[in-house]
Structure 1
């Protein structure tokens, strides 16, 4: 409020009124501005609600299009630049390649020219060329004087003399009248016979001390060329020796094949195949009157055994067989190989059948063809190996009356009607099973065509029935159908079967000698893990007749062994020998490289089978065959192996296995199969934390290791269960909200994945707000640990400790999707320890959530 003084002059009063009116006007203006601004603000809010104008949108679109076009232009320019750089680089490389090719061609051309000149005798040093020029000048001078010089062709041909070590006596001077003849001979000496050294010596004698310096300079290039020619000579000499040795080996082999003696037969190699527990080893025990099977761990054959059966035993065992002419037996005996039937030993079975002449397939008459029997049939088909079938365990037929000293045909006739009927029924069932495998089969006494039909011989390894008939049939078939194959041949054919460490003898190899002869002191080449091994035979050991090669027997030492035998060879450096490949003999030293190359080709294929992983267990076995079987078993069971060895477990093996403690502790394990573990090695393993599993049966070893892995995995699962988060996607059921805050209790549907108790959950659509941790799951009022896709459940979600509780309706709504909160660590834990509990759909959900959470 303004108080004006009236007593003031009018002038002042007037100015006061003017001031008042101005103030009023300004106040009205301010009010108007306020209203205007308010109006503009409301219009702007309306415009905002309406959205940007068309012009703005168009301008934005144009700006975006321009930006995009600029980016594309920049991208094109960058691509063009890269392309030009690549082209320039390609041109440079091409030029380098062409230049290298040109240099190589030039080098090759020079080499060829030198070789050609060398062959023609025209490759001369500077000194030789000078000597030649002097000789030609002398020749021309003599011709000018009218001396008659005979032509080169007219001269008598003499054997070339390359060097004469003897000292020459000084000869008397020739008379003048006899000059023409020596001159004519000497004319060709510098060109043909005189070598570089002689000519240089002459120069040195003639020239003064000043000229000697020039001769030294002259000698340098000549010495280079001579060294080059020497290296070429050395190389070519090696190649010549190699080719010579190769030709000699080929010639010897061809001669040996030509000189085959068809009148003299070797012992046939017979392989016994079949399913586990069908009685393969038992049949041989009956034949030998031994108990090898009782000495094997669990009664399961785990190594290949070879038995020499002499002629006397064959005649003794077949004495009861009718229509068998003992006088016509030509074979000197038999070599029978017993192979394991367990599926883990398929590689041993493969090794046994690869070198046999005829096989015995043992079939249990009570069970017919079993898995390993079918595998053996396929193996025999693949190797095109003839075989006969032993229908074993006929003594288990009801009311069977045994008669081992009688022909099995007569024994069958003696049986009661019900026993004969059961036998006929079971034999027909086996014949039908063979037909399903694509093979014709018939009982041996009904088989009129052994080439087309497989013969079935009823046998009993327990009682001995039919064993004589089995041997008689083997002898008949080998002498008639395989006579050509069994013909005596001097060409060596031997195969390494086993590598075994024996106390007092060191590492020995068991070899099946099929053809040829082995002698003590001979140089042999055997396949090894690191390449072919060259060693000498220190001893040839044979088991006594009817004793197995693999069983510890008092061996007989021999100087020479001929076919067909199972022989144990003593020698140096046999530790790394690979079984299943041929053994070769070098008659001369220059044959060793040729035979080594031959073995390397075969080695490559076998070594591919033994591939070590970076992370894996350490495997130790008594023989390579057992080792291969164990490795095959581990491979099929998807257990990696990082180290292998043969023989007892030493400290060095424990140290090698302990390296896995740093990489992956679950593989810090030694699997010792049929080997001794030294005490200090066991103590070292205990102190380092390396587990050593030992067993005599492959399955017991694997069971122990499997149990250890399961326990280890369970321990790790308990350790990582709070880190591992299983993926899930949940949808809220709004009609079942029982408590909206601390704890949230509500009904949900599992749309994808698996929900487990302890799973942290969040809402991605609300800025990844963490709702809490699922502490309880109920289905139909029953508490459960997990819920799968499609289930409607009630969950209790408690807040994360240290965070404020979240509320349904405020922090998230019914329309929001809830997911499990995964991290990189939780995914790794699932991969390492919970892989078996995850399905393919769960991994797909993990991939989806990784994108949502932007996890790399």
Structure 2
């Protein structure tokens, strides 16, 4: 099974479309081809399944739920554009999955194509291609003309042969749910990939807390099929409810056994859902583990405000160590902390460290729901000290930050008395005059001080709650722009155990 990743404009979709048009396993059987999230191509005697996920976010979301959905990752990089921030994210997500990576250098038909430059850039992010003495396979392709695509497929076939990917078609079928939805005409449907055994129409199946009996199966061309051997993606009808993407499915003896097993899982999940660990509890558990484990590994994600800060932190982290312990930087990048970082942290049990950057509201909520620890700093050595303390399982008393209110800047006004006044809409919590406040622009902290003034219409006010507009003046700061975010916060010191 192959997952294709890459920057949004680097030709991933065109490459997939070209492979699909040229190498479909079966002819379309008189119906409209339907997209089911995965499809197969034939290469000699071997069939390769491509999992068509909408980017590395979905891929890692499945991994966060324990689903191993791929054997090989194809990283698409545009030859004229080179390595972009999303490419770096994709590399981190692919490396965290621990599977072979094949680089497809796309858009070789363009005059500005520079495959050598791309290979050099990849080296900076830990991917050394064979041409530069490494072990990462790369192919130069053009998704537009098709040049090099056959060679790319041959590389995938060769890796599959060397890695000896195999499955037993004779055992009871099992695999992964990759997509699921409620279809108005057909009821609950799910796309699954068979990983072991042969799935047949009429089989009783269970996936997580959902049971069913297969009434119909469709392949990626929309044709109805009676059976699906290993590595085959199929759309299944016949579920009692919509299963969850990332759940494993398996064939059981009969519908009664399927419903009993599904009910047991559903009860367990409801119980677990009532006692989800908080970020503090997860961190404490990690610290206990690091204290007691002789071969401890601390996984971290680092986001910084500038390239220079990022390099300084990476160099500082490389010097931290202890006997029987090591630090793995799962991902590091420039810019604000986003939902992709939270997903990756959830999948890899990593702690997120930010220098001069902040999570946006969505990322903050996602981290709270998943119990992910996000720690932000304004001084590099304080961050490095905490990372070192964490590696040995001890943290000094922590200054815990509580967000009191958040406001979006929607207009700028000038005041002879206060200078620049930000016309804001309070989106959550409450802003109070005198609060500590920071201004965040594109995820990066550009000001940290205090809220000097608050106005409603022409009146000075003490505080403004969510859902209201107001004017905000920041102490000794005038460089406010539309689209900025103002956060009011307080800091409390909490002892670590």
Aligned residue in 1 for 2:187: 506
Mark the CA change 1:523 to 1:353 in structure 2 (over 3 Å): closer, same or farther: closer
**TM-score (norm. length: structure 2):** 0.53
Residue in 1 aligned with 2:116? 428
Q: Is the 8 A contact 2:453 2:473 kept in 1?
A: no
> Is the CA contact 1:341–1:349 (under 8 Å) kept in the aligned structure 2?
no
**Hey, which of these two has a bigger chunk of strand by percent?**
2
Describe the shift of the 1:334–1:566 C-alpha distance in structure 2 as closer, same or farther (beyond 3 A): same
State the shift of 1:386 in Å.
0.8
* Matching residue within 223, 227, 248 for 1:582: 248
Aligned-pair distance for 1:392? 0.3
Matched, 1:520 2:201: yes
Question: 1:217 matched to which residue of 2?
Answer: none
For structure 2, which runs of at least 5 residues remain unmatched after alignment?
23-34, 279-338, 344-358, 367-406, 412-421, 436-449, 478-485, 491-497
Equivalent residue in structure 2 for 1:369, among 67, 83, 106: 83
Q: What CA distance in whole angstroms lies between the structure 2 residues aligned with 1:271 and 1:490?
A: 26
Report 1:310-459 matches (<5 A): 311=42, 314=43, 329-331=44-46, 333-341=47-55, 347=61, 354-398=68-112, 426-443=114-131, 453-459=135-141
Deviations 1:188-243 (A, max 9, x none): xxxxxxxxxxxxxxxxxxxxxxxxxxxxxxxxxxxxxxxxxxxxxxxxxxxxxxxx
C-alpha contact (below 8 Å) 1:271/1:356 kept by paired residues: yes
Task: Tell me the SS of whatever aligns to 1:504.
Answer: coil
The equivalent residue for 1:538 is 215
CA distance in 2, matches of 1:350, 1:288: 28
Q: Normalised by the size of structure 1, how large is the TM-score?
A: 0.33
The structure with higher relative contact order (CA 8 Å, sep 6+) is 2
SS across alignment from 2:90: helix
State the match for 1:24 in structure 2. Answer: none
Q: Distance in 2 between matches of 1:846 and 1:540?
A: 54
What CA deviation, in whole Å up to 9, does each residue of 1:167-203 have, x standing for no partner? xxxxxxxxxxxxxxxxxxxxxxxxxxxxxxxxxxxxx
Note the C-alpha offset of 1:458: 0.2
CA distance in 1, matches of 2:58, 2:471: 25
Does structure 1 conserve the Cα–Cα contact (< 8 Å) formed by 2:67 and 2:248?
Answer: no
CA contact (8 A) 2:455 2:470 kept: no
Q: How does 1:463-612 map to 2 (within 5 A)?
A: 463-479=145-161, 481-485=162-166, 490-527=171-208, 532-544=209-221, 555-575=222-242, 577-588=243-254, 589-590=256-257, 593=260, 597=264
Structure-2 separation of matches of 1:833 and 1:601: 42
**Which has more helix, going by share of residues?**
1
| Mapped contact 2:62–2:69 kept (Cα < 8 A) | no
Q: Is 2:464 aligned against 1:829?
A: yes
Per-residue displacement from partner, 1:310-365 (whole Å, max 9, x unpaired)? x3xx3xxxxxxxxxxxxxx442x221122223868863697899311112111111
For the Cα contact (< 8 Å) 2:211–2:258, is it kept in 1?
no
Looking at structure 1, the residues matched to 72 and 18 of structure 2 have their Cα atoms a distance apart, in angstroms, of 20
Structure 1: unaligned runs, 5 residues or longer: 1-268, 291-302, 315-328, 399-422, 545-554, 612-627, 641-706, 718-723, 729-751, 760-773, 776-819, 821-825, 848-856
The CA distance in 1 between the partners of 2:149 and 2:166, in whole Å, is 25
Is 1:305 the counterpart of 2:37? The answer is yes
Alignment-derived partner of residue 210 in structure 1: none
Match of 2:16 among 278, 281, 284: 284
Change in Cα spacing, 1:351 to 1:639, as seen in structure 2 (3 Å) is closer
Aligned length: 328
1:537 partner SS: strand
SS in 1 for 2:127: coil
- Measured after TM superposition, the shift of residue 393 of structure 1 is 0.6
8 Å contact kept, 1:282–1:461: yes
